Amino acid sequence: MEFQFATLADFLAMGGHGSYVWASYAVTIAALLALAIYPALRRRQLRRELLRQQRIERRRQVKRTEIAEPA
Amino acid sequence: MEVFLAWQWFHRLGSPRWFYQKTGAWLPWLALASAVLLATGAVWGLGFAPEDAKQGNSYRIIYIHVPAAFLALAGYYIMAVGGAIGLIWKMKLSFAVMRAAAPIGAVLTFIALFTGALWGKPTWGTYWVWDARITSMLILLFLYIGVIALGRAFAREQVADKACALLALVGTVNIPIIYKSVDWWFTLHQPATIRLTKASSIDPSMFYPLLTMIAGFYCFYAWTLIAHTRVLLLQREWRTQWVREALVEEK
């Protein structure tokens, strides 16, 4: 098994079909990366939302205790 | 006793919490396996596999076109079976898998169609033709998009799940048509390169990189399906204690 192209330029040209081959691979990589990254982004979003809700909840509780026991 | 154990396992598998905790450890391994296999297969297919005698170098698109089309079809089965199990046993996890499978399947079908168009131009002289295989794959894309759109159309998740499951099940009619289209209507798309029953029409030096890419796409599919399902479960079980712990504890 050996590398099929003599030079890097040959490899990129793909015998005149370079644009079709490389565009196919580029779009595929971009699409697969999007699928791979999405869960992590969504998870971060959910985590932020949860932390925000918990902060609001805590602030409310502090206020409630202030009203219940005026200084 | 064994039947009882099997049922217990089945029910645990249906529990979102159990699934979430069990699958967390698998993800890095699946990600690693898919990265290694896809990188190896792509370098092998692009640089080391011999040139095709008839098509020249444009045939190297096969190393993504065929695996993507494989998984687009296999993914539809998973989505439809997930919908069926959800309808019959009212399993939450199963519906989540079905809903997570839709965008992944849509992207894979898009890749198969897009790379097919780019391969068609230098080979057939046209990007698109209304050939039976290509048209039935386009219908597959519309079915996936239909499930995504239908899922978003209902405010209540339970209703959305049922509607999506029904659409997915009805759409399975399209699957055998896609498989058989190259034999029933012999038009432009070439017949299957790999056959399990007969000898394949492809040389081993081209076949091994293709097998590597197919294995890589399978690993990638398993990885993303599990990851998308997990994050969907976090969203759906938002009110439960285990989700709150899972979100706050793990960074």
| ipTM attached to this prediction | 0.89
A52 falls within a domain: yes
Whether residue A31 contacts residue B110, with contact meaning beta carbons closer than 8 Å, is answered with: yes
Question: Does residue A10 belong to any structural domain of this protein?
Answer: no
At residue B198, the pLDDT reads: 61
Residue B180, pLDDT score: 83
Q: Does some domain include residue A13? A: no
Residue B50 sits at φ, ψ, to 5 deg, of: -70, 160
Cβ–Cβ < 8 Å for B181, B189: yes
Report if residue A17 sits inside a domain: no
A28 contacts B111? CB cut-off 8 A: yes
Range of the domain at A71: 35-71
Tally the domains of chain B: 1
| Cα separation, B225 vs B104, whole angstroms | 7
DSSP tag of B197: S
pLDDT of residue B203: 85
Q: Rounded to an integer, what distance in angstroms lies between the CA atom of residue B114 and that of residue B191? A: 19
Question: pLDDT below 70 — which residues of chain A?
Answer: 70-71
Domains held by chain A: number: 1
pLDDT at B186: 66
Contact B98, A25 (CB under 8 A): no
The answer to whether residue A11 sits within a structural domain is: no
Give the residue from chain A lying closest to B44, CA to CA: A3
Q: Best residue in B228, B241, B247, B251 to probe A by mutation, most A CBs within 10 Å?
A: B247
pTM of the model: 0.91
> CA angle at residue B105 from B243 to A43, to 5 degrees?
25
The boundaries of the domain holding residue B181 are 29-46+57-187+200-249
Domain assignment present for residue A41? The answer is: yes
Per-residue pLDDT of chain B (251 residues; tens, 9 = 90+): 566 667 766 666 678 999 999 999 999 999 999 999 999 999 999 999 998 888 889 999 999 999 999 999 999 999 999 999 999 988 899 999 999 999 999 999 999 999 999 999 998 888 998 888 999 999 999 999 999 999 999 999 999 999 999 999 999 999 999 988 877 776 677 777 766 566 667 888 899 999 999 999 999 999 999 999 999 999 999 989 999 999 988 76
Is A15 part of any domain?
no
- Are B228 and A38 in contact (CB < 8 Å)? yes
Amino acid occupying residue B112: A
CA distance A35 to chain B (A): 7
